[in-house]
Amino acid sequence: MARPVAPSTFFFLILPYGASFGFVAVALPFLARENGVTVPEIGALVAGAFVPHTWKVFYAPVVDTLFTRKVWYGLGLAILVAGTAASLVVPISRATLPHVATLVFATQFGLTFLNMGCEAFIGHSVPAEQKARTSAWYQAGQVFGLGVGGAAILWLAQHLSTTVTALVVAVGLVACGVPILFLDEPDVGERRSLGAAFWTLLVDLGRLVTSRAGIIAIAIALAPIGAGAASNLFSAIAVEWNASDTVVELATGLAGGIVSAAGALASGWFALRLSRTSAYAIAACLIGASAVAMALLPHTSTMYVVWTLAYQLFLGFGQGVFVAFVFETIGKGAVATKYNIFAALLNLRVYYTTRLDGWAHQTWSSNGVLYMDTALTLVGLVMLAGLVAFARASIKKPEPA
């Protein structure tokens, strides 16, 4: 019998995933802005990091079929370490932006394997009654890694040589993956052929678009509600709030990671007491309200800290609710395939909302980013309410067995 897995284990295993996004969303935009790269160009670079995460559903059956979950996790971690180190060594400027974008894309492609390895462990090794708590720890690790990891990489890049920074970051990322060595490989049942795995993908997609729960999940994943795209540009627009390097590192890094993780952990409690759609809608409203407040109130360093932290707290909560919903919905079986149907849609949403926020900055400056983010949330809320009402009215629940 496999040993029970402590929910907090996944906090550490997924930290490299968060740190990689932290580099792209926190350190890279700030360093790029300092070297003359425009906010729309930064928005396009950050949005490009989400592209592999929208494609991964199409090769997730390979992860469900070949090798072990530990092998996929190790492969993803190796690509992540190599790609992040290389990205740190290449100087960031408008001239080198295509090279940096290529490295970021390749790193994120490898990162999808690490992500799917963790998902498979959660799907197969965690009891149903522990999935909400485990999902909360899992999401907390992502957002904590994003904030703290991004701030740490930014600080290292500003105080050490590129080679030393790359080496320190590589060692830290590898250390996060050590707990995988002490986990029992999950029992996934009988192995299927690759063709059967892809057939399962098509069947799952068919069920997804014809069921009430599936339509609601698609609405939540695709609608521009609670995407949190503005957080990807906080470090790029910091100069307009007169925020220093230290303030940016604090607000979008260390403190941001802590409050985001707190929000994600809190979602584990609320997920057991509210419906998923209600909790997610509440989180989206709070995210939008914090963005409006940041735009309307004085553009000072203090306001920058207060409202970026509020935004990240509510974003962590919303993301935690969504992850719990997905893990409880997909059950076992082809976990990587089924989870990444939702994850691909979610990342597609973050991609297009980040591009729109970047375009809004070009047109209306930094307040435009925040107003666009809020407007997209309002549109998403209306879409979600309409689709939920349609699903409830037109699609009947299956009769109980």
Q: What is the pLDDT of residues 197-246, one digit of tens each?
A: 677 767 766 776 677 666 777 777 788 887 888 887 887 888 889 988 78
Looking at the domain assignment, is residue 228 inside a domain? yes
Q: Tell me the mean pLDDT in the region 294-312.
A: 94
Looking at the domain assignment, is residue 1 inside a domain? no
Encode pLDDT of 130-169 as tens digits: 777 787 888 888 888 877 888 788 888 888 888 999 999 9
pLDDT of 134 reads: 83
Using pLDDT thresholds of 50, 70 and 90, give the confidence band for residue 314: very high
Range of the structural domain that residue 183 is part of: 9-394
* Rounded percentage of the chain residues whose pLDDT exceeds 90: 15
Looking at the domain assignment, is residue 249 inside a domain? yes
SS (H, E, C) 75-97: HHHHHHHHHHHHHHHCCCCCCCH
Looking at the domain assignment, is residue 4 inside a domain? no
Looking at the domain assignment, is residue 401 inside a domain? no
Using pLDDT thresholds of 50, 70 and 90, give the confidence band for residue 330: low
Two tokens at 122? 């959660």
Q: Does the pLDDT of residue 291 top 90, yes or no?
A: yes
pTM exceeds 0.75, yes or no: no
Q: Give me the number of domains the chain comprises.
A: 1
Encode pLDDT of 169-193 as tens digits: 999 999 999 998 888 876 655 555 6
199: CATH:
1.20.1250.20
Looking at the domain assignment, is residue 400 inside a domain? no
Looking at the domain assignment, is residue 2 inside a domain? no
Residue 49 has phi, psi (to 5 degrees) of -65, -20
pLDDT of 392 reads: 66
SS (H, E, C) the chain: CCCCCCCCHHHHHCHHHHHHHHHHHHHHHHHHHHCCCCHHHHHHHHHHCCHHHHHHHHCHHHHHHCCCHHHHHHHHHHHHHHHHHHHHHCCCCCCCHHHHHHHHHHHHHHHHHHHHHHHHHHHHHCCHHHHHHHHHHHHHHHHHHHHHHHHHHHHHHHHCCHHHHHHHHHHHHHHHCHHHHHCCCCCCCCCCCHHHHHHHHHHHHHHHCCCHHHHHHHHHHHCCCCCCHHHHHCCCCHHHHCCCHHHHHHHHHHHHHHHHHHHHHHHHHHCCCCCHHHHHHHHHHHHHHHHHHHHHCCCCHHHHHHHHHHHHHHHHHHHHHHHHHHHHHHCCCCHHHHHHHHHHHHHHHHHHHHHHHHHHHHHHHHHHHHHHHHHHHHHHHHHHHHHHHHHHHHCCCCCCC
Note the residue count of the chain: 401
